[in-house]
Amino acid sequence: MARERRGALLELLQRPGNARCADCGAPDPDWASHTLGVFICLSCSGIHRNIPQVSKVKSVRLDTWEEAQVEFMASHGNDAARATYEAKVPSFYYRPTFSDCQLLREQWIRAKYERKEFIHPEKQEPYSAGYREGLLWKRGRDNGQFLSRKFVLTEREGALKYFNKNDAKEPKAVLKIEHLNATFQPAKVGHPHGLQITYLKDNSTRNLFVYHEDGKEMADWFNALRAARFHYLQVAFPGASDADLVPKLSRNYLKEGYMEKTGPKQTEGFRKRWFTMDDRRLMYFKDPLPVSPQDAFARGEVFIGSKEGGYRVLAQLPPGTQGPRWAHGITIVTPDRKFLFACETEAEQREWVAAFQGVMDRPMLPQEYAVEARFKHKP
Ligand code: ZN
């Protein structure tokens, strides 16, 4: 009997809807919630285990299953659960994948099954109302300590503002939604809910590092920022479809890490710098986190165009290059000049080359030519 039940379960895993984790899309899930009727991956099963009042999990391959539980799985499954628990997910809401941080995956699972936010849209107000205010811990620029700051997001003003004093009338900074990006960076911020917010000020990229102890609060802030970007873009590009706009709401960095670089004359010697690849912009900083106000600015930026535009990447340095301590060289060839880098390990070199190549293989969008032109005129 037990063998037949296992066979029936393994057969259910062959159904197309069950071939990927119901929550993060990871391939070949072999765990299941037998109270919700979904097949999930090992990693998501750990999150389900923390909400026992709605979800009870078992291994498809290792645990003992009762007949009624197998029948429940057969009559439900991932497609049916999606139709119920994801019935009203707003377009702008971030659906995490298996490569996203624990916070995003956990809050997605809790939003779906515990809070049932996508069955009852009135529960979506914290991120869909167009206005949000509250306190966040913000990393101070001078000493790196986190300080409690009031933040206000207002779609009507198209801005995220923060205040150094709770009763202050004038905000310390006004970040335009138009130029804003938010990406979770737990390791960099040093907190599992750490969020990096980037924005443009006087044409250069600035960063804020914030967190909230409560996971739901932090995920609500993130989705409120995405909602604000979505509504801004809907007005700015009236003909665009939701599918066109959703990828523009927030973006993760393609790659980050240390490399050594040399200056434009290539005689200055190589210096170790922290690099962030944000779409087509390769920025470098003295350190991953700014330790003084001047360090909050990128020291420099390189625009990475497309191969059609004459950009190339080579996993080597020109013969005879002097100076790098690190052995694994990279040359980026742009229409203007060559940029030379060195990585500490071969794995790092491979990842950076893949990140550059991926961007170069992508044809340029019309609006990206204007950005490229601005870079070309820089000294
Ligand atoms: Zn999963």
- Give residue limits of the domains in the chain: 2-121, 129-247, 255-376
Most confident option among 37-46, 293-302, 321-330, 358-367: 37-46
- pLDDT category of residue 1 using cuts at 50, 70 and 90: low
Beta-sheet strand order (sheet of 281-285): 300-303, 281-285, 271-278, 255-261, 338-343, 328-333, 312-314
Q: How far apart are the first and last CA of the chain?
A: 76
pLDDT at 379: 45
Comparing CA positions, the residue from 170, 177, 171, 172 lying closest to residue 198 is: 177
Residue 144 pLDDT level (bands cut at 50, 70, 90): confident
> 255-376 in CATH: which number?
2.30.29.30
The residue-averaged pLDDT of 319-323 equals 88
Could you tell me which CATH class the domain 129-247 is placed in? mainly beta
Question: What pLDDT sits at residue 2?
Answer: 82
β pairing state of 146-154 and 195-201: unpaired
CA of 200 to the centre of ligand 1 (A): 35
Question: Which pLDDT belongs to residue 196?
Answer: 95
With 80 as the cut, is the pLDDT of residue 327 above it? yes
The pLDDT tens digits for 294-306 are: 666 778 889 999 9
- Ligand 1 centroid to residue 187 C-alpha, Å: 21
pLDDT on residue 165 = 84
Q: How many A from CA of 269 to the centre of ligand 1?
A: 46
Residue 93, both tokens: 């809401």
- 289 near 142, Cβ under 8 Å? no
Q: What spacing in Å lies between the alpha carbon of 101 and ligand 1's midpoint? A: 12
User: How many A from CA of 328 to the centre of ligand 1?
Assistant: 35
d(CA 196, CA 185): 6
pLDDT above 90 for 291: no
Contact 232, 245 (CB under 8 A): no
Burial class (CB in 10 A: 0-12, 13-18, 19+), 52: exposed
| CA pair distance 79, 85, nearest whole angstrom | 10
> What is residue 336's predicted lDDT score, i.e. its pLDDT?
87
Ligand 1 center to residue 102 CA distance, Å?
11
Q: Work out the average pLDDT over 40-60.
A: 97
> Cβ neighbours of residue 309 under 8 Å, at least 6 residues apart?
335, 364, 372
Distance 31 CA to ligand 1 centre (A): 9
Yes or no: say if 228 and 153 are a contact pair by the CB < 8 Å rule.
Answer: yes
Burial letters 361-373, b for 16+ CB under 10 A, else e: eeebeeebeeebe
What average pLDDT does this structure show over 137-149?
88
Q: How far is CA 316 from the centre of its chain?
A: 30
Question: What is the reported pTM?
Answer: 0.86
Distance 106 CA to ligand 1 centre (A): 10
Q: Is the pLDDT of residue 376 over 80?
A: no
**CA-CA distance, 272 to 260, in Å (whole number)?**
4
Cα–Cα distance measured from residue 154 to residue 244, given in angstroms and rounded to the nearest whole number = 23
| Strand, coil or helix: 321 | coil
Average pLDDT, integer, range 76-98: 97
Same fold, 2-121 and 255-376: no
| 200 has pLDDT over 90 | no
Q: What is the pLDDT of residues 254-287, one digit of tens each?
A: 999 999 999 877 677 899 999 999 889 999 988 8
Q: Which fold has domain 2-121?
A: Annexin V; domain 1 (1.10.220)
What does the alpha-carbon distance between residue 161 and residue 38 come to, in Å, rounded to a whole number? 41
Residue 206 token pair:
């600035």
Token readout for 341 is: 């880098």
CA gyration radius, the chain: 24
Q: Residue 298 has what pLDDT?
A: 77
Instruction: With a cut of 60, say whether residue 377 has pLDDT above it.
Output: no
- Tokens, residue 320: 């005879």
Q: Is the dihedral of CA 261, 263, 265, 270 positive or negative?
A: negative
Q: Tell me the CA–centroid distance for residue 96 and ligand 1, in Å.
A: 9
Quick one: which of 312, 324, 326 has its CA closest to 356?
A: 312
Alpha-carbon dihedral sign for residues 304, 308, 311, 313 = positive
- Integer Cα distance of 117 and 140 in angstroms: 34
